[in-house]
Amino acid sequence: MHEATSIASHRFPCAGGRSLWTPTRRDFVYGLGTSVGSVAFSTLLAAEEQKKSGPLAPKEGHVEAKAKRCIFLMMEGGPSHIDTFDPKPALAKQHLKEFTRTDKQQSAMSGGKRYFVQSPFEFRKAGQSGADMCTLWENLQHVADDLCFYRGCQVDSVNHPTAMYQMNTGNRFGGDPAIGSWTTYGLGSVNQDLPGFVVLPEVSYPQGGSANWSNGYLPASFQGTPLRAKGSPILDLQPPKGITPELQRANLDLLAKLNQEHLAEHPWHGELSARMENYELAFRMQMQVPGVLDLSKEDPKTLEQYGIGNDRTDAFGRKCLLARKLVEQGVRFVQLYAGTWDSHDYIERAHANLIGAVDKPIAALIADLKQRGMLEDTLVVWCGEFGRSPDNGVRGGTAYGRDHNPKAMTVWFAGGGVKAGHTIGATDETGAEAVECVHHVRDLHVTLLRLLGLDDNRLTFYHAGRFKQLSQFGGQVIKELIA
């Protein structure tokens, strides 16, 4: 007997010529929808269906992925490669000699005489790989063999906001999607109860503001979600006193019904769909976020490992531990900010303080990911928006610093399919310009996407009359970086 026949309703005659109705299984299931107890059940079914079909639902990449997730450590302000990971002994011989720029060498400052400045720091060869590190990296040296240093990256701008935009979005002028937005657009996210792209900024936002993690012209669901550094990470995360989850659910259901009706009449309003998704995500986050962000239950040894509780390292240590917890819970892309590294003077004091604040937390993050078996498929990136110049306009005294330099910088990676224990590319003898394995930042972006299983040429979005992509007009994978 066919299923349709077997579950059909049946009516049997009874006294007075009336029929006695006997409910079938289908009638019973349909009837559930009218009971009070079924509201939660139907809500759960709707939520699960939304997770499977929503904008952040997991998607297959274009190519085989070496990394499933990314943690991006953004050192805002432009850390000096010459004073961190790219030593230049030649500067010692030229210290305070007049510096003459070539047409290719750019500087943020113009006019006046300029002088070479040697690094105030000593360097060591770290790990079996012999990685160059300033001796202030007391903890990072212990994970040197897990790192891949790249010295060939170049950008276009010497101004902080435009350079930040280019490093984060590929566009110097802002308004485009951030790399975290492109990643979640292409891959979705594993955990539908948390944002796919999370940002942990400083108390004051970086130059260029929140546009550094904007969704740009992508649907609003792909924008970065910033968590506050102090106080409640997300404002209004908990409902007001007396508001029960059941009441919230009923309010959201009514709002969704009204919004759906409006959307049916105005289907071109994409922001309304994103707003509806965000309402649902916010409701689910109330259950997940407090547990993920609560560090009070962490093992004291873990807290100490990240430098939490120490005034110098506490702030960035919390970010690094939260980043590990977030990616462990399925968040696709987490970006952490530390800064500012803009040391035009007193670089010895400024960089020493900044390195001291991030060294222990970053080393702990790498070691923790490795110990948990997550480093292999987690791509960690460390960089600023540009490097620093070998010269400075100050002569005499101790206020030596460095200018902006878009032609030379150091970017390092860990995990996620990169060549651990290698240094790729080189700069000239003074660190003024990359001269080996030189690539524009667009190629860096293309490479990051490829490691995550995405092809920049296929990861496009139609906007303003053409298909757009992170690299703007295409780029090439830096094959030397990939294991």
pLDDT digits (tens, 9 = 90+) for 422-450: 999 999 999 999 999 999 999 999 999 99
Instruction: Report the residue count for the chain.
Output: 483
| Rounded alpha-carbon distances, angstroms, from residue 211 to 37, 76, 335, 387 | 45, 14, 14, 22
Domains of the chain by start residue, with CATH: 53-481 (3.40.720.10)
| pLDDT of 35 higher than 60 | no
CA-to-CA distance for 338 and 95, rounded, in angstroms? 30
Residue 52's SS3 state is helix
Q: What is the rounded average pLDDT of the residues 147-154? A: 98
| Rounded alpha-carbon distances, angstroms, from residue 450 to 68, 344, 417, 476 | 11, 36, 10, 10
Q: What separation, in Å, do the N-terminal and C-terminal C-alpha atoms of the chain show?
A: 60
Burial string for 431-462 (b: 16+ CB within 10 Å, else e) reads bbbbeebbbbbbbbbbbbbbbbbbbbeebbbe
Largest CA distance in the chain: 115
Token pair of 347 as six digits: 């670089």
Residue 240 per-residue DSSP state: P
- The model's pTM is 0.82
Question: Worst-scoring range by mean pLDDT, 4-8, 172-176, 333-337, 406-410?
Answer: 4-8
Which H or E run contains 261?
Answer: helix 245-265
Q: At residue 370, what are phi and psi to the nearest 5 degrees?
A: -65, -45
The model's confidence at residue 293, banded by pLDDT at 50, 70 and 90, is confident
The larger pLDDT score, comparing residue 71 to residue 255, is at 71
